[in-house]
Chain A
Amino acid sequence: MAFDLPTAWAGILAVAVVLYVVMDGFDLGIGVLFPSAENEQQRDQMMASVAPFWDGNETWLVLGGGGLLVAFPAAYGVIMPALYLPVIAMLLALVLRGVAFEYRAPHAGNTAAWSLVFFGASTVAAFFQGVILGGLIQGIRVENGAFAGGAFDWATPFALLCGLGVVAGYALLGATWLIMKTEGAVAERARRQARVLLVVVMGFMVAVSLWTPLAFPRIQERWFSAPNIYVLWIVPVITGAVALAVWRATERHDWVPFVGAIGLFLLGYLGLGISTYPYVVPPSLTIWDTASSPSTQIFMLAGTVVLLPIILAYVAYVYWLFRGKVGEDESYH
């Protein structure tokens, strides 16, 4: 098989997006779980467990958006106007929750209010990321290479379902992160939450898995036509097995639930990839229709091949440096 630049870039972007989803997912999930804490001290502990990482985690979102502009500018130019309001809502929510990390400090005056902001904005950001995902899967109306729909085309029951699913999924990641990274009451509560959230998330995954082939013939054909089905049946089976493993591990394991929850995300992501590839703007624009100039893709690929491993190395180093559990009296500030 010949080396194909747009395929390579689709792969890189897929990696960037999945890294974003998993990494910012758990720290957004902490925000979703904020109201369940008994007091501000527990919230301090929860926040301290993600404080050294959240900034780097969010950078993957910039790489996702920037990478789309680099590799598929025509797709970027369609998706952003089509999903205008969800994208703006997500960005504003990320602004508010980002500053909440700082503004919750005791000397800023109003910790409780900024805890509420952190919860609300994390949840809104997660919800609209799900809406954006749903809006992409259900398809965007394109004429002459430009978005040709209305301001609320994205607002369908399916997209709202995806929004709620991502909120639950991030909360699951957050809960399993807390199991791994905190001590005491917060970790104990997280174990109970993880079990409930696991059931909810599996419910959403089943719903999306049934809804998409029923509502979109292209997805039905992808999954259920021969010979695809002979291979693809294994994806839901593995997903079920991983879910079971997470369920069992929530009893006493520290890190297995988190790794398992990431596994569930990867499998769901793989499923959505199978459903939509090679479309970057379903149902009309493929990665080849929207690819940037080969010179652009090569120029950026050269840098990415060299720099991405270095970035991953020092990101890993930072996670290693801040390894271990966060105690009950520890605070960011």
Chain B
Amino acid sequence: MDFDPLLLARVQFAFTITFHIIFPSFTIGLSAYIATLLVMRARTGNERYARLARFWTKIFAVSFALGVVSGVVLSYQFGTNWSRFSVVTGNIIGPLMGYEVLTAFFLEASFLGILLFGAGRVSPRLHTFAAIMVAVGTAISGFWILSANSWMQTPAGHTVINGIAHPVDWLAIIFNPSFPYRFAHMMTAAYLTTAFVVLAVGARWVLAERHYDEARIMVKMAVGMIVVLAPLQLFIGDQHGLNTLEHQPIKVAAMEAHWDGSKPGDFHIFAWPDEKAETNRFAISIPRGASLVLTHDPNGLFPGLTSVPPQDRPPVKNVFFAFRIMLAIGFAMIAVAIAGAILWWRGALFTTGWFLRIVSHGWWAGFVAIVAGWVVSESGRQPWVVSGILRTADAVSPVPGGSVATSLALFVVVYGIVFSTGIYFINRLLANGLVGGADQPPDAGTPLRPITGARPAGAAGAAPAPATRTGAAGSPGA
């Protein structure tokens, strides 16, 4: 049986990077959240923040481990599956990733040891500092890797000699045209993703009347974050889109399924792009909507897909549908932001059952939006792996299809085991809840529903024996 090494290598990369991206996009936000909690504990002396920090640190440890191991895989896949890419762009991509390792990975990994195991060994001040270093490390990591990706989208500051890219101006390489927009968009997405996870867990606990104070702290912090970031993300995304229109117009044409550039573009709420016929079927559209957004003029023109030959177009359906998924989630997030702001203002944030129930199921929103956004960005760059410099088809390694198929199958099996166990594990941590968190409101408060009768003390929270979960505090004391 013959395997197509190119197709298999692409499927493998898509699979491993999709798996990977889930974890950093969560840990970037979660590390910042943990650092914030520890700083608030230091400033207020309120132990609730410390309990929350301990709880989320356990979940962070699992997510971070998954991010690290799946990231190590990626750093070698450039060579195993994309050796021509490495040879052609190594002069430029190499240092961007090298600086990521030197400025971020060691920082994260070393201070993570202190964050996880140092609570009994170092002062609270140093423990908090370690949490901040981990958060800073994840953000620096994002800086470099998004710079590398942005350079692949909008290369700058280089020259090509005998088919090999050579650096000319490092500042122009690092701060290439799409980088500031992509960096802002992705980091905001990461913080939003985490906010929705924290909100979901907090809302579940409020609904279940568990961990009274901590649950409310989580809901408030998450809603506050979402109120600010969700609308901001719409603005950043719009700016990013305009930047893409300037530098990668065909990607934007695919996002909008806009074929004929001589006419204004409609915004298709739904359509089935037909790449053979170069048109859309079953389109439900807002006339001139795309032109209005992209050119701020209903009669404005922007390039269509037919302005380049078919072999230079990205796969339209991937880009088009992924963009719609991302947009839909983005607007849903804004709806949550508006509802949350109104309820908070009215003092009804913890008593509005429908709102809490909806957001308690919304933990996945950010992850799906991020994966969809990456499909838009990466599929939209095709057929190039580095725009204008190297086509994906020319970047692949001279490795037989059988090897790639074997490794792909192994990746699917191993990641399947690791991922499903990870989900199960994190769910167990969530179900176990906090160590030492009180379930009863400290005073009458505003419970979700009237508490009828006193609860038996033994039933508090149904948390299993805490002795097995001393967690971060259980490190050796010698």
Contacts and interface: CB of A to CB of B under 8 A. Distances in A.
Interface of A: 48, 51-53, 55-56, 58-59, 61-63, 65-71, 73-74, 76-81, 84-85, 87-89, 91-92, 94-96, 98-99, 101-103, 105-109, 145-148, 150-151, 292-293, 295-296, 299-300, 303-304, 307-308, 311, 314-315, 317-318, 321-322, 324-327, 330-331, 333
A124 B475 CA distance: 29
25 contacts: A52-B118, A62-B72, A62-B75, A65-B75, A69-B79, A73-B90, A74-B90, A76-B79, A77-B79, A77-B90, A79-B79, A91-B76, A99-B62, A99-B66, A102-B61, A107-B428, A295-B170, A296-B94, A296-B95, A300-B98, A303-B99, A303-B103, A314-B106, A317-B110, A333-B474
A62 B74 CA distance: 10
A101 B68 CA distance: 13
Contacts of A311: 102, 106, 110
Interface string B378-421: 00000000000000000001111011001100110011011001
Contact of B476 (A65, A145, A327): A327
B101 interface: yes
Nearest to A143: B398
A295 B167 contact: yes
A52 B414 contact: no
Contact of A59 (B91, B106, B411, B425): B106
Contacts of B103: 303, 307
A132 to B, nearest CB: 11
A321 B118 contact: yes
Interface of B: 61-62, 64-66, 68-73, 75-76, 78-80, 83-84, 86-87, 90-95, 97-103, 105-107, 109-114, 116-118, 121-122, 166-168, 170, 397-400, 402-403, 406-407, 410-411, 414-415, 417-418, 421-422, 424-425, 428-429, 432, 464, 468-469, 471, 474-476, 478
A107 B98 contact: no
A88 B405 CA distance: 12
Nearest to A68: B79
A307 B122 CA distance: 24
Contacts of A73: 86-87, 90-91, 94
A68 B94 CA distance: 8
B407 A85 contact: yes
A89 B414 CA distance: 11
Contact of B87 (A74, A84, A103, A109): A74
A70 B65 contact: no
Contacts of B410: 88-89, 92
Given A73-B90, A107-B428, A58 B72 contact: yes
Given A59-B106, A63-B102, A326-B476, A80 B418 contact: no
Given A87-B76, A98-B68, A99-B421, A299 B167 contact: yes
Given A321-B114, A324-B476, A62 B101 contact: yes
